[in-house]
Homo-oligomer: A and B are copies of this chain.
Amino acid sequence: MNDLPRPRTRRKDTRPAELLAAALDCFVEKGFAATRMEDIARRAGVAKGTFYLYFPSKDAVFEALVRETLLPRIATLEQSATMAGLGAEAKLRAILAMLGQVLADPKLVAIPKLVLAEAGNFPDMARFYRQEVIARGQALLNGLFREGVEKGEFRPLPDLDIMTRLFMGPVVLTALWQTTFAPVEQTPMPIDRVLSTHADLFLTAIKAPTGTGGAP
Contact = CB atoms under 8 A, between A and B. Distances in A.
Interface of A: 28-34, 113, 115-121, 123, 126-127, 130, 134, 159, 162-163, 165-166, 168-174, 176-177, 179-181, 184-185, 189-190, 193-194, 197-198, 200-202, 204-206
Interface majority SS (helix, strand, loop, mixed), chain A: helix
A191 B205 CA distance: 20
A197 B177 CA distance: 24
A204 B117 CA distance: 35
B130 A181 contact: yes
Contact of A184 (B127, B184, B200): B127
Nearest to A119: B180
B194 A165 contact: yes
A189 to B, nearest CB: 8
A62 to B, nearest CB: 13
